[in-house]
Chains A and B, each alone.
Chain A
Amino acid sequence: MSMQSPDQASRRVARVRRVSRIMMVVSGVLAAAGPILLIPVWLSFEHFAAAMVPGLRIDSLSELDRAGGYLISLLPAGIAAWGFITLSRLFARFASGDTLGAANARLLHRFACAVLFTAPAKWLSGALLSVWLTRDAAPGEHQLILSLSSNDIAFAALGMLLMILSWVMRDAAEIADEHRQFV
């Protein structure tokens, strides 16, 4: 096993802090951007309908349709925003030099939950949107669309990976805490 020299270690710590500062800002911006970007999306939903709810057939949307659709879309977007806020806090701790604190493992665990819950939230949101937007359609033309894409599965897998990493990080934090009690 090769040991890092103190110089290499300090360069690595400096790099972690520098990148974490950038990621803290990026995560904060993404947390705010999701719910805000959904507003123009819903103002011209006709262009995005195929991407957001594949298979949905709609002619025109009322203001109430758009407002309700926006609120339903906030379900996955809100979870994602919460995840990015958590991630921003985690990067803030990394940027301050605290890389192996117990709180970091908790924050990573919350972010993993957000990633994991985003997939079913998107699935539920798509189903609710199809019902909401076709509620006034003629009898026989109401739709309930349930779609599961490879992206959703990838999100769930990524969430599980992050969840396991958060457990490993919690163990590492405990070891680091014990290590600190050695002189």
Chain B
Amino acid sequence: MPIIVTLDVMLARRKMRGKELADIIGMSEQNLSLLRSGKIKGVRFETLARLCAALDCQPADLLMFEPDDDVSIRSPSDT
């Protein structure tokens, strides 16, 4: 998956533990763990907003895009 979840980095910067964050945003520790390990298919905007509010950051601080062969896009000349 080319989208990398950088939540761990942000947690370290804010010196916050995962359990504390899970309590603040009202998410189970199990789901937060899945999110941190990137073993999910997507994040709801609502969850992202809560994460940003709790960590005082922007969505871009939590997600990163690393291109790989899994993602194919059409070039402008194809359209």
By a beta-carbon cutoff of 8 Å, the part of chain A in contact with chain B is: 178, 181-183
Contacts and interface: CB of A to CB of B under 8 A. Distances in A.
Interface string B23-57: 00001000110110000111110010000000000
A183 B42 CA distance: 7
Contacts of B35: 183
Contacts of A183: 27, 31-32, 34-35, 40, 42-44, 47
Contact of A178 (B27, B41, B47): B41
A38 to B, nearest CB: 51
Nearest to A181: B41
Nearest to B51: A183
A157 to B, nearest CB: 38
Contact size class for B? Answer: 10 to 19
A174 to B, nearest CB: 12
Q: 6 closest A-B pairs (Cβ-Cβ)?
A: A181-B41, A182-B42, A183-B31, A183-B35, A181-B40, A183-B40
A182 B41 CA distance: 6
A69 B45 CA distance: 66
A181 B34 CA distance: 9
A183 B31 CA distance: 7
- Listed residue (A181, A182, A183) with the most chain B CB atoms within 10 angstroms of its CB: A183
19 contacts: A178-B41, A181-B40, A181-B41, A181-B42, A182-B40, A182-B41, A182-B42, A182-B43, A182-B44, A183-B27, A183-B31, A183-B32, A183-B34, A183-B35, A183-B40, A183-B42, A183-B43, A183-B44, A183-B47
Contacts of A182: 40-44
Nearest to A178: B41
A183 B35 CA distance: 7
Contacts of B40: 181-183
B3 to A, nearest CB: 13
B11 to A, nearest CB: 15
A71 B19 CA distance: 64
A41 B32 CA distance: 62
A178 B41 CA distance: 7
A183 to B, nearest CB: 5
Nearest to A179: B41
A72 to B, nearest CB: 53
A178 B44 CA distance: 13
A183 B46 CA distance: 9
